[in-house]
Chain A
Amino acid sequence: MPKKTKLVHQKKQIVCAFLLLLSCFVHAQENYSINGTVSDAANGETLFGASVFLKGTTTGVITNEYGFYSLTAAKGNYTLIISYVGFEEKSIDIVLDKNQKLNFEIKEFATQLDEVVLTADEKEHVNIRQPEMSVNKLNIKTVKQMPVVLGEVDIIKSLQMLPGVTNNGEGSSGFNVRGGAVDQNLVLLDEAIIYNTSHLLGFFSVFNADAIKDIKLHKGGIPAKFGGRVSSVLDVRQKDGNNKRFAAAGGIGLISSRLALEGPMFNKNGSFLVAGRSSYVNLFLAASNNKNRVGFYDLNLKSNYKLSENNKLYLSGYFGRDKFKLGSSFETTYGNASGNLRWNHIFNERLFSNLSAIYSRYDYDIGILIEEFDWISSIDNYNLKYDFKYYASDKFKLDFGASGIYYHFNPGQIKPTSASSSVNAMKLDQKKAYETGLYVTAEHKITDKLTAQYGLRHSYFNRLGGQPMQDYINNQPVTYNNTLGIYERGEASGETNYEKGKSIANYGNFEPRAALAYELKNESSVKLGYSRSAQYIHLLSNTTSVTPLDVWTPSGKYIKPQLSDQFAVGYFKNFNEEDYSLEVETYYKTTDNRIDYIDGSDLIGNNTIETEILNGESRAYGLEVLFRKNTGKFTGWISYTLSKSEQRTKDENAGGPGISSGNWYSTPYDRLHDLSATGSFQLNKKWSFSANFALQSGRPVTYPNGQYEYEGLSIASYSDRNSDRLPLYHRLDLSATYKPNKKPNRRWKGEWVFGIYNAYNRKNAASISFGQNTDTGVNEATRTAIFGMVPSATYNFKF
């Protein structure tokens, strides 16, 4: 059977299977549905992940991202229980004799405002029944309690305290999940793709905690509604804004200050949130007569409007910038911008939908003032998504939808800023592409003990014409020079001009996803997961750390999409009435078409990137343990990860033995051991203390294995790629929070947060570089450590 018809055939079979399943569960009985939203009584924020269930039955549902729920049961009288972490449980008696709409508002525990002691009812715990695994959900409150450098709350740094999440240490952008690269994370802020998650090279994250509602990290078993990255999805959602009253929150820190304003609009049919943050190091620099400048700012916007009971509009935006200036020679700015318009529509009590139109952009501009030119680069994307959730029955729910993304890449452009500049104007070929996705996922309660989630995503990528592409002799952009024993750029044999509207290359992939949860005795369960995912755009980076000046490139004629398969098995248990919980997971992940770079590769301002890269593969496997204490005066967790992440680059097209003689070598983000502990202790109503401890194996690096004299200099010869390691990394952070709390009923609530980052002043090597001392000529190893001990004080307020 030809391949294409075979695919079509497969597709038909899958569709049939779903229809069959559907018809099984939507049988004609006297069933009725209730639906509505669950929100916070204090500010009207909808709650994601609140549980709504019928007492004494196994019928229950979790609210979706927009706080919506729908559940179906046989006609009768029930007690409906609504609960959410940190909120008072609400129960209400209902008579289910017709379809009905019920919106609930639940109250935060009163004590929560003054204390963070978690009682048995409001604690976090592992959801052992849902098949969803390899997921970490972080409550913004938990994040705000953790000690951080310079008192700036940082979501990305908090994530690194979880198992399977690391980064390249201080001074590097992004984060790594389960031995995956930084560019393999899909980072979404209100569904808009964020291409760089860091301010000031990773010292701060782009997420302003005052504007964030919740954070969910999928490390594996990624639901079929997400696609485009092979390692993880970080789903960050902004607050909607208080629709009850005007409120403000802010903070004044050593480096930056922030302010968030929110309140009702349109007669309480809507609300808004505006949050801004800015650093003010520049003021100090200016005051001390220093001509250098460094700083960042960002702005979050959100607004929503309820058109009718079944229609709601959301508008959200983000704009952030980093700025640096070195005297009058260099200046650089970079940042993300995004905007998103969403329309929630409830078709009927069982069918919820959301349509989103999203734009996002990342760009940088380096001004070389002395040579009078600007170097600019950007990536833009327009994204349209339509997602549906169908609550077919108590036992069966269906998610399906479609999405399309159009990309525009400007890999580099030189603009002389004056006529006298000795630099010529230049623009690299502009690259365009679109990516589409279609998915369907079922959540299926097979028996009371066994729940499954299974689905399929189909992704398609089309690299569009409108640019010339180099052709190479033997179709080899890179060749192996057998005599010299090195990889060389291939020789061009001509150029093919792809016209606008023509396709340079296109790829399609089916991505099956499946997960299974089986509930055991004693509050425990076993879960299994498998997922396949495809990634069509890649971040080009041959440096030891990812930087904000790296450039994204699409798949095409020479660069193939990355394809990844991940298997995971986990054991989950709650102890002692959910006071403690344990999560153990093990995973094995392979990725095809992972690129690496030839020796001496040059990625900047290069129109023919394909001549710099080799095609390879990667694999990662590991064991993760997370033990939490969820209640009491002392709460916190210990996480430990044992893992391996390796790469092998034997490009068949280029020939030759490959990088490191074709053997597996460590990726820069391989960590054999990674131990993190975080805890907070509530001493009394005024004082609470918290601490973080992190200990992990050093990062794989390449060190010299000898020296030779050349040009009167000592030149280092280097060993195999990533065959050495930086010294062990460890660090302790401490913080104390003081709430004056003089008049508990006053609207103004302030708190002081005192912190010490890297409390025992460990000089963790961000890098070790080797070179000759210019005075003595002797070779030296120089360690660069980014932060020593950093004390901080921040005042936070809200009213």
Chain B
Amino acid sequence: MKLYIKITVLLIIASFISCEDVIDVDLQTEEPRLTVEASIDWEKGTTGNNQTIKLSTSSEYFDKDRNNAVTNATVIVTNTDTNEEFIFSNQNDGNYTINNFVPIINNTYSLEIIYNGETYEATEKLIPVVDVKDVRQSTEKGFDDEALEVNVVFDDPEDEDNFYLFKYKEEGDLLYELEDVDDEFVNGNEVSWWYEKDDEDEDEENFIAGDRVFIEMYGISEGYFNYIRTLIEQSEGVGLFGSIPVALKGNCINVTNKDNYAHGFFRLTQVVKTNYIFE
């Protein structure tokens, strides 16, 4: 949030006199890398038995065709506390699935992927999340005090550092919007986290009565927070006042050939999913 505020303040200043347009740029291209989207998300109130891990490879930045599914890998997840092994089955479309996964809060899991004769490994803990107390709408928060925004209300636990990932999507929209949250400044408080659709784009509208927004709140580890924070910042486009973008490395290590690291992350989270219809 801190950086977000800083960038926002600066962009407001610059927006008075700047103009934007889309242009063609020549880019460097790196060799394709394995991308691991191993998100073991346990929705509260479900068994969490059904899980999917997606594997693909990276491509040229401006390629419109991003269908680079990896169909010749093996995927195994192990609970290192119980030594229970979960073998994911290859659906031959880049998805590797399982229907008898056992999620246990605060247990540590390891991931092993074998692809093109190289082994990738990762280890991560399953992080719990608090309940959502209330979802409500307001106008006075957000950048525009006439526009509607949705508020997710929850109690942040006081005696620990907590990290959250929020995902929002209005019904009918193409892309999710991600937001990372660190309880550093709000530790132990009742937090009302708002989301307002920004109307920077001419063709993007604010929320109006009748709109439905889907909301997901994840409890995440500090390691994943550091990763997703940078990912979100960089995916929003690094403009005039953004940090210098960096080669982002996740937690999936190539143990066969260290330099050929994988994109993506092995995360285990608990998630609350809800939705809200504006009045």
Q: Using an 8 Å CB-CB cutoff, how does the interface string of B184-195 with A read, 1 for contact, 0 for none?
A: 111101111000
**A779 within 8 Å of B by Cβ?**
yes
CB contacts under 8 Å to A, within B150-207, are 167, 173-176, 178, 184-187, 189-192, 201, 203-204
Q: Are B61 and A770 in contact (CB under 8 A)?
A: yes
Among B83-91, B95-103, B105-113, B233-241, which stretch is in contact with chain A?
B233-241
CB contacts under 8 Å to B, within A298-353, are 324, 326-330, 332
CB contacts under 8 Å to A, within B18-54, are 18-25, 27-30, 32-33, 35, 37, 39, 54
Q: Are A767 and B17 in contact (CB under 8 A)?
A: no
Known contacts being A422-B190, A763-B19, is A781 close to B24, with CB within 8 Å?
A: yes
Q: Are B174 and A709 in contact (CB under 8 A)?
A: no
Contacts of B253 in A (CB 8 A): 483-485
**A41 within 8 Å of B by Cβ?**
no
Known contacts being A779-B61, A784-B239, is A668 close to B37, with CB within 8 Å?
A: no
**B270 within 8 Å of A by Cβ?**
no
Q: Are A203 and B17 in contact (CB under 8 A)?
A: yes
Q: Are B27 and A778 in contact (CB under 8 A)?
A: no
Q: Are A767 and B239 in contact (CB under 8 A)?
A: yes
Shortest beta-carbon distance from B239 to chain A in Å: 4
Closest chain B residue to A486 by CB distance? B249
Q: Are A171 and B240 in contact (CB under 8 A)?
A: yes
Q: Are B242 and A707 in contact (CB under 8 A)?
A: no
Q: Are B242 and A543 in contact (CB under 8 A)?
A: yes
Q: Are A784 and B60 in contact (CB under 8 A)?
A: no
Shortest beta-carbon distance from A295 to chain B in Å: 11
**B93 within 8 Å of A by Cβ?**
no
**A602 within 8 Å of B by Cβ?**
yes
Q: Are A705 and B243 in contact (CB under 8 A)?
A: no
| Whole-angstrom CA separation of A788 from B27 in the bound complex | 26
CB contacts under 8 Å to B, within A337-395, are 366, 368, 370-371, 375
> Residue A708 contacts which of B3, B237, B264 (CB distance < 8 angstroms)?
B264
Q: Are A702 and B240 in contact (CB under 8 A)?
A: no
Q: Are B56 and A707 in contact (CB under 8 A)?
A: no
> Residue A484 contacts which of B27, B32, B145, B251 (CB distance < 8 angstroms)?
B251
Contacts of B184 in A (CB 8 A): 605
Q: Are A774 and B201 in contact (CB under 8 A)?
A: yes
> Residue B264 contacts which of A326, A710, A712 (CB distance < 8 angstroms)?
A710
> Residue A370 contacts which of B23, B39, B142, B227 (CB distance < 8 angstroms)?
B142
Interface size on B, residues (CB 8 A): 90
**A769 within 8 Å of B by Cβ?**
yes
| Whole-angstrom CA separation of A112 from B16 in the bound complex | 39
Contacts of B212 in A (CB 8 A): none
**B144 within 8 Å of A by Cβ?**
yes
| Whole-angstrom CA separation of A375 from B178 in the bound complex | 25
Contacts of A783 in B (CB 8 A): 20-23
**B interface secondary structure, majority:** loop
Among A434-442, A505-513, A544-552, A675-683, which stretch is in contact with chain B?
A544-552
- Counting chain A CB atoms within 10 Å of each CB, the highest count among B27, B186, B192 belongs to B27
Shortest beta-carbon distance from B203 to chain A in Å: 7
Q: Using an 8 Å CB-CB cutoff, how does the interface string of B224-236 with A read, 1 for contact, 0 for none?
A: 0011011100111
Contacts of A781 in B (CB 8 A): 22-25
**A652 within 8 Å of B by Cβ?**
no
**A402 within 8 Å of B by Cβ?**
no
Among A6-14, A56-64, A721-729, A741-749, which stretch is in contact with chain B?
A721-729
Contacts of B33 in A (CB 8 A): 706, 708, 717
Q: Using an 8 Å CB-CB cutoff, how does the interface string of A768-788 with B read, 1 for contact, 0 for none?
A: 111110111111111111111
**A81 within 8 Å of B by Cβ?**
no
| Whole-angstrom CA separation of A422 from B1 in the bound complex | 14
**A249 within 8 Å of B by Cβ?**
no
| Whole-angstrom CA separation of A485 from B30 in the bound complex | 18
**A601 within 8 Å of B by Cβ?**
yes
**B6 within 8 Å of A by Cβ?**
yes
Q: Are A426 and B58 in contact (CB under 8 A)?
A: no
Q: Are B242 and A769 in contact (CB under 8 A)?
A: yes
Q: Are A705 and B27 in contact (CB under 8 A)?
A: yes
| Whole-angstrom CA separation of A507 from B23 in the bound complex | 50
Closest chain B residue to A720 by CB distance? B247
> Residue B261 contacts which of A485, A707, A769, A778 (CB distance < 8 angstroms)?
A485
Shortest beta-carbon distance from B270 to chain A in Å: 17
> Residue A715 contacts which of B14, B176, B235, B249 (CB distance < 8 angstroms)?
B235
| Whole-angstrom CA separation of A86 from B184 in the bound complex | 61
Contacts of B142 in A (CB 8 A): 329, 370
Interface size class of A (residues with CB under 8 A): 35 or more
Shortest beta-carbon distance from B260 to chain A in Å: 11
Closest chain B residue to A414 by CB distance? B185
Contacts of A547 in B (CB 8 A): 6, 10, 241
Q: Are A763 and B246 in contact (CB under 8 A)?
A: no
| Whole-angstrom CA separation of A480 from B39 in the bound complex | 26
Among B62-70, B73-81, B129-137, B271-279, which stretch is in contact with chain A?
B62-70
Contacts of A713 in B (CB 8 A): 175-176, 178, 235
Known contacts being A703-B27, A717-B30, A779-B62, is A787 close to B17, with CB within 8 Å?
A: yes
Shortest beta-carbon distance from B181 to chain A in Å: 12
Q: Are B30 and A707 in contact (CB under 8 A)?
A: no
**B209 within 8 Å of A by Cβ?**
no
**B208 within 8 Å of A by Cβ?**
no
Shortest beta-carbon distance from A193 to chain B in Å: 24
Shortest beta-carbon distance from A323 to chain B in Å: 10
Q: Are A599 and B30 in contact (CB under 8 A)?
A: no
Q: Are A724 and B246 in contact (CB under 8 A)?
A: no
Q: Are B32 and A706 in contact (CB under 8 A)?
A: yes
Q: Are B60 and A707 in contact (CB under 8 A)?
A: yes
Contacts of A203 in B (CB 8 A): 17
Q: Are B241 and A326 in contact (CB under 8 A)?
A: no
> Residue A702 contacts which of B17, B176, B192, B244 (CB distance < 8 angstroms)?
B244
> Residue B248 contacts which of A602, A605, A718 (CB distance < 8 angstroms)?
A718
**A423 within 8 Å of B by Cβ?**
yes
**A542 within 8 Å of B by Cβ?**
yes
**A496 within 8 Å of B by Cβ?**
no
**A600 within 8 Å of B by Cβ?**
yes
| Whole-angstrom CA separation of A375 from B184 in the bound complex | 14
Q: Using an 8 Å CB-CB cutoff, how does the interface string of A594-632 with B read, 1 for contact, 0 for none?
A: 000101111011000000000000000000000000000
Question: Residues of A with Cβ closer than 8 Å to B?
Answer: 171-172, 200-201, 203, 281, 292, 294, 324, 326-330, 332, 366, 368, 370-371, 375, 414, 422-424, 426, 483-486, 542-545, 547, 549, 597, 599-602, 604-605, 668, 701-724, 763, 765-772, 774-788
Question: Residues of B with Cβ closer than 8 Å to A?
Answer: 2-3, 5-6, 8-10, 12-14, 16-25, 27-30, 32-33, 35, 37, 39, 54, 56-64, 66, 140-145, 167, 173-176, 178, 184-187, 189-192, 201, 203-204, 226-227, 229-231, 234-249, 251, 253, 258, 261, 263-264
Given A201-B13, A330-B5, A770-B238, 4 more pairs with CB closer than 8 A: A547-B10, A668-B244, A717-B248, A782-B23
Q: Closest 4 A-B residue pairs measured CB to CB? A: A769-B237, A771-B237, A599-B246, A708-B35
A-B contact pairs, 26 of them (CB 8 A): A201-B10, A203-B17, A294-B13, A328-B140, A329-B142, A366-B6, A366-B9, A370-B145, A414-B185, A422-B186, A423-B185, A542-B244, A544-B238, A547-B241, A600-B229, A600-B246, A604-B6, A605-B184, A708-B56, A708-B57, A711-B176, A715-B234, A718-B234, A723-B28, A783-B22, A786-B18
